[in-house]
Structure 1
Amino acid sequence: MFSFDEGMQTLPNALSRALGGRVWTDARVTSLKHLAGGFEIRGMRKGKAFRLATKAVATSIPAYQLAPLIAPLSKPTAAALREIVYPPVAEIFLGFRSSDVARTLDGFGFLVPAKENRQILGTIWSSSLFPQRAPENHVALTSFVGGSRQPELYEKSDAELVAMVTEELRSIMSVSGIPVFSKVIRWQKAIPQYNIGYKKIVDEMERCERENAGLFFCSNFKGGIAVGDCVMNGKKVAEKVISSTMDTAI
């Protein structure tokens, strides 16, 4: 695990400053076509339509958004992308006084196996892992609810989630008192699931790449979901893009 003093937003902010105007943001791609010698990309940006011609395309958008764009290139690949499941997950951030947490927070936190029949997937002891996550004499805890195991819990209100997680932490960690801080963030489509048979989906993506020279899949649904995996895969894809076309700006 890793982060920054000011949170993970530090990384995209730094990338944005380094890249400047070389990257378009707030642009929505509406179509992707494979033409002789490259690709045609159409979309909308700031209320205006645009058209781009390029020799290579590296896509990192979620599978459920990519599927309709890939369909004109390969219907089987689009169908495979639609099979990828993104269950909902709610993150519940709670702050407690250190005196209200009896257990020594001397690790990263804990994950909960299904057989424990709990209502949380796990908890990260954020203030133990990273500095500046909680004021002095306080602790910050990040818990996860829902997922493929209990997607229905995602539908609970923020107040219900805070109360539910607080009770679970009382039972598991001997937390007392009430949270002095709480915040809920919801991810309706969270982490792609590498379910049994997932290799067939990856094989289909690789077949599509071979048949559409210059197309590269680069997302957390291929090659690993962790930030480290995504960074490494991104570097590998960047090298492939460079080698596939040395004279085309992407």
Structure 2
Amino acid sequence: SIVVATPAFVAADLLNEVAPNLVRSLQVIRYVSTGTISLAYRESDIRKPLNGFGVVVPRSERRPINAITVSSIKFSQRAPEGFALLRVFFGGSRSPHSMELNDAALVQTVRAQLRELLGIESAPMLQRIYRWHHSNAQYDVGHLDRVANLEKSLPAGLYLTGSAYRGVGIPDCIKQSQDTARRIISDFERRKA
């Protein structure tokens, strides 16, 4: 058995010779790029109260960021006492233009958003930017039908799993992997009988 647990576009390249009938179906699974910027501040720099784990920015606001997580509230050991660690999410299908900004422009843009949303005027004590290009599969209309057709078209002994198919979260990927392992065992036992 062979399990392909890569992004769909990588699977398309890998399977081009052995399963060319799958390539187009794998290539049409669309991906977006995403990023985060983590910023550390003194708690006294944050003028608006942080009552909760963060903020999801409504699409209707058309901001260049998607969400803010207060990592130091969500995970108490992420910042020393008296400090707050924020993680700002950008990119994706909601703000793809943010991925194109250079680091300096991105920091400036994010700081302007934090100023407006949380009243933070100060420069961060620390900042780290992370970008993941072509990292998040998008489940466009008809996705589950495409996945079902892909699975029906797989040659015997070949299995696909990963975030491109039936869920992008870590628990989804774990469940898919377990389901794939069960299918392999079941197929093996059926062939053995």
> TM-score, normalising length from structure 2?
0.90
Q: Partner of 1:131 in structure 2?
A: 76
TM superposition shift of 1:155:
1.4
Amino acid at match of 2:66: L
Give the Cα separation in 2 of the matches to 1:146 and 1:102.
Answer: 26
Q: Partner of 1:50 in structure 2?
A: none
Does residue 49 of structure 2 align to residue 104 of structure 1?
Answer: yes
SS of the residue 1:102 aligns to: coil
Q: Partner of 1:165 in structure 2?
A: 110
Over the residues paired in the alignment, what is the CA RMSD in angstroms? Answer: 1.6
Q: Partner of 2:150 in structure 1?
A: 205
Figure out how many residues of one structure are paired with residues of the other and give that number.
189
Give the Cα separation in 2 of the matches to 1:179 and 1:139.
Answer: 10
Amino acid at match of 1:136: E
SS of the residue 2:99 aligns to: helix
Q: Partner of 2:132 in structure 1?
A: 187
TM superposition shift of 1:152:
2.3
Give the Cα separation in 2 of the matches to 1:206 and 1:103.
Answer: 50
TM superposition shift of 1:76:
3.6
Map 1:30-179; keep pairs closer than 5 Å. 56-179=1-124
Q: Partner of 1:233 in structure 2?
A: 176
Q: Partner of 1:244 in structure 2?
A: 187
TM superposition shift of 1:106:
3.2
Does residue 159 of structure 2 align to residue 216 of structure 1?
Answer: yes
Give the Cα separation in 1 of the matches to 2:132 and 2:109.
Answer: 18
The superposition leaves residues 125-182 of structure 1 with CA deviations (integer Å, 9 ceiling, x where unpaired) of 1111113211211111111112123322211111111111111011112223111110
Give the Cα separation in 2 of the matches to 1:81 and 1:229.
Answer: 19
Give the Cα separation in 2 of the matches to 1:167 and 1:130.
Answer: 25
Give the Cα separation in 2 of the matches to 1:131 and 1:205.
Answer: 43
Give the Cα separation in 2 of the matches to 1:79 and 1:113.
Answer: 34
**Bigger relative contact order, structure 1 or 2 (CA pairs below 8 A, ≥6 apart):** 2
The superposition leaves residues 223-245 of structure 1 with CA deviations (integer Å, 9 ceiling, x where unpaired) of 10011111111112122223333
The superposition leaves residues 14-64 of structure 1 with CA deviations (integer Å, 9 ceiling, x where unpaired) of xxxxxxxxxxxxxxxxxxxxxxxxxxxxxxxxxxxxxxxxxx111111111
Give the Cα separation in 2 of the matches to 1:189 and 1:108.
Answer: 27
Aligned residues of 2:65 and 2:98 also touching (Cα < 8 A)? no
Aligned residues of 1:94 and 1:183 also touching (Cα < 8 A)? yes
Amino acid at match of 1:163: Q
Q: Structure 2: any 5+ residue segments left out of the alignment?
A: none
Deviates most, 214-223 or 72-81: 72-81
Give the Cα separation in 2 of the matches to 1:74 and 1:238.
Answer: 21
Structure with the largest fraction of helix: 2
> TM-score, normalising length from structure 1?
0.71
Deviates most, 236-245 or 129-138: 236-245
TM superposition shift of 1:208:
2.1
Identity %: 32
